[in-house]
Amino acid sequence: MNQESPCLYTGECQIGTGDAREPQISQDVDSLAGKILRLTPEGKVPADNPFPNNPVFITGIRNTQGFDWYNPSTLFVTDHGPSGELGRRGEDKVSVLQAGDNMGWPAVENCEAEAEFVRPSLVWREAAPPGGAAIYTGDAIPEWKGNLIIGVAETKYEFKCRDVPWNVSTGVLTSSQILFILPISNA
């Protein structure tokens, strides 16, 4: 289980869980696997969670290791694509989500759009995989303020996508920008 930004921004704790190598359970709201969960700092289910008396906040996740709040109702989520499950590889993605949204794992492939699922905003063809994500709020680099920073875990590059091209109301990324590429040392 991965935990990112616990109890920050909204006052609740968000916890990201993987699908435990059982893809279909990410669609089951009675399972905690393949979800983003939301709890109060005391471990209670917030009254306004999308599923009553249930910590499930977002469904249809394969394995998230990075997410951050864009604003009080919009969450940017990175998700690892398949590593051979269902005969698929790659498909790591970034999605713009709100309470009750479904990322579509394992049904959605690449940038497919289906009515019951949120279409990914950005998909990598080859595995990145995204290891973390944060909206930059600091003052040290003013031109980065409000930008989504995505770290990648197993490649030789890190990517940064500006928030300007995101249409937050539709979740569509109209363009992306690789701001810098840093070789990662094997040492």
Half-sphere exposure of 46 (CA within 13 A, CB side): 17
What residues of the chain score a pLDDT lower than 50?
Answer: 1-6, 156-165, 179-187
Per-residue pLDDT tens digits for 152-165: 766 544 444 433 34
Q: State the pLDDT at residue 128.
A: 75
Q: State the pLDDT at residue 162.
A: 38
The angle subtended at Cα 182 by Cα 178 and Cα 185, nearest 5°, is 150
Q: State the pLDDT at residue 180.
A: 44
Q: Is the pTM of this model over 0.85?
A: no
Sign of the alpha-carbon dihedral angle for 158, 162, 167, 169: positive
The angle subtended at Cα 67 by Cα 61 and Cα 68, nearest 5°, is 145
Q: State the pLDDT at residue 175.
A: 52
Tell me: cis bond preceding 106? Omega within 30 of 0 counts. Answer: yes
- Cα 84 from Cα 64, distance rounded (Å): 17
